[in-house]
Structure 1
């Protein structure tokens, strides 16, 4: 049962990785998408159908699911430290430092939309909140989410009265053209562009993404403390309720967000406010559905568990592969690939990672980046053998 429980969590993490890649590849492939606009070269009905489908079903959902798993894994790491009789705080601080350095390198070299640095900052908050009750964790997550939604409503009001002068179409086009030219250039130009984008979005990260990630992590912390994932059959009724609520309210909110995503700053801000409240419900419905179906689809579970075990390596690998495809590091196809082809590339990359992860884990206990992070966390050389695993934090 322990092995099955670990596999289910790893499989859910692998499933999240696929969703994250399908969303991120659009931003890796286009300066226009990073500027909040649709690529003008791709305006066919199929192009728009793919954009709308990804926005409706995937955008802002899977990073929340991955953040939930980060919070859940935090409880496993605490329990593991207690079992081993080791001081948890110093180990976790070293882990966060490693995450921050990896995320910083990732953001500068490959993708300024990196989330690892956010996890490193949020991890400090989890340390402070690690002893709170599950009920308090959920209440704090609700408060954070509500405040964020109110913040976007305020931005919409400012835009309505004309106090927000950012995000105009002309500014967005100029930003996209500048970004495309830099991303097609040399390695120095690409890094310079990434640094410039980081300077533009740092406030967004601190004020909006960080609290949203923390809220999802707090839900994961509560679930870990309650032990829900340790005995899923005992919580079937709860999972079923999550599906009903998530697929009704969550999809409704996602539809509002999708309608607003391409229609000016006022509508976009209001859509973001709605999505902040409803996207967690849809993400929870995805997780509940996946976990309920997993016992009937053991092959899919085993297939997804391998990339889930190597989630950090695969996340960074996805950005590396996409950079080689879309930037001057490789083929320089930025803004030359249509949305449908982007999705096909994302699926192909993930399928390749599934096979590569299974191959790697036949002879290694951890993924390459996981090995490095674990060495820093425990300040010792991790075991290499694939068959030495008795459990994981």
Structure 2
């Protein structure tokens, strides 16, 4: 195996993937869908910063509160942990290849290109650009020992918590700017044609960048922590150990969030979610219960981009124009329906092909040669 990796690096085969991690990624994507469709496609992302908010029904208020406490930022934190672990897995698999550094840099640069296209042409709520830049910062740390990953993760997370406690002056736009921007978004996103929406989306990017700057240290810290967790063998641990780690993290994280310490509580809650879900997915009964999410996780890149295209058509003026016209519950129902459709599509697709279409393109551009798309005879039998 080592000599093969040294001679011709290639992606891991579908049979070699860790199903529990794919399950976690698939479930985390459900949280991302819920938050994106409610807070960023249904209304302007900046509406949450206005006070008072538009009146909502009791059901909408209850759902919004649950999403805020249990899902918002936690799902993205899970994705950050998984991305860091995935980067460490790639780094480990390419250990015997002279091209390891160039391949991993190319992987992240390709992701950056995808992210910029997504950001500018499809949806400016993109997270891929931030992940690619954070990955390039984290990559050199992977050459160091485990303790360096742990110390660096702690340092970046402390920086993030410090920024939450004392936000830098002048980082965010004024309330007047946000108010005017939300009014423009309500008009253009709801009624504008594709070119109108595109032009406004590009104008919106400078206002969105500070939001990414504000959480960028957390993203780097969680990448590093995910890599550290992989190297210490935590995701591969026995279910009982994972559950014993995850349950206290969930309890303490929830307590901190209820007490108002949202930033730290969110990190702990995400860690707890991850440990508990992977622990359950390692069990035979857990595989039956959660196995449906693994194909969704294996095609997370394709599904994430497809969601932007689908929700853009549903909510913006060049499609159904539902922007600003739906309550939280109705928007969430649409998001869940799209997610369920993607669950079935992902399972159907992966019975026929090795990778999702975007995953295939990403790997092909990373390795510089077309990757096999169809299953091998052995994989087809499995």
Q: Give the TM-score of the pair, scaled to structure 2.
A: 0.88
Q: Counterpart of 1:78?
A: 91
Render the CA deviation track for 1:203-257: whole Å, top value 9, x for unaligned: 332x322211111111111012122223334xx335413321x223211232345
Measure, in 1, the Cα distance between the counterparts of 2:242 and 2:236.
Answer: 14
Measure, in 1, the Cα distance between the counterparts of 2:155 and 2:300.
Answer: 30
CA contact (8 A) 2:46 2:178 kept: no
Q: Counterpart of 2:58?
A: 45
Q: Counterpart of 2:244?
A: 240
Q: Counterpart of 2:122?
A: 110
CA contact (8 A) 1:81 1:88 kept: yes
Alignment of 1:216-231 (within 5 A): 216-231=222-237
Render the CA deviation track for 1:62-108: whole Å, top value 9, x for unaligned: 1111111111111211222235x351111112211211111111112
Q: Counterpart of 2:337?
A: 348
2:206 is the alignment partner of 1:199: yes
Q: Counterpart of 2:41?
A: 29
Measure, in 2, the Cα distance between the counterparts of 1:345 and 1:287.
Answer: 26
**Do the aligned partners of residues 284 and 389 (structure 1) sit closer, same or farther apart at CA in structure 2, a change above 3 Å counting?**
farther
Measure, in 1, the Cα distance between the counterparts of 2:129 and 2:270.
Answer: 22
Measure, in 1, the Cα distance between the counterparts of 2:172 and 2:56.
Answer: 27
Q: Counterpart of 2:252?
A: 249
**Do the aligned partners of residues 195 and 349 (structure 1) sit closer, same or farther apart at CA in structure 2, a change above 3 Å counting?**
same
**Structure 2 unmatched ranges of 5 or more:** 1-13
Q: Deviation at 1:358?
A: 0.8
Runs of 4+ in 1 over 6 A off after TM superposition: none
Q: Deviation at 1:316?
A: 0.6
Q: Counterpart of 1:298?
A: 287
Render the CA deviation track for 1:314-369: whole Å, top value 9, x for unaligned: 11111111111101231010011110112211111111001000111111111000
Measure, in 2, the Cα distance between the counterparts of 1:90 and 1:229.
Answer: 27
Residue of 321, 324, 331 corresponding to 1:332: 321
Measure, in 2, the Cα distance between the counterparts of 1:198 and 1:320.
Answer: 18
CA contact (8 A) 2:160 2:215 kept: no
Q: Give the TM-score of the pair, scaled to structure 1.
A: 0.85
Count of residues in correspondence between the two structures: 362
Render the CA deviation track for 1:27-78: whole Å, top value 9, x for unaligned: 3333444332479555111111111110000011011111111111112112
RMSD: 2.4
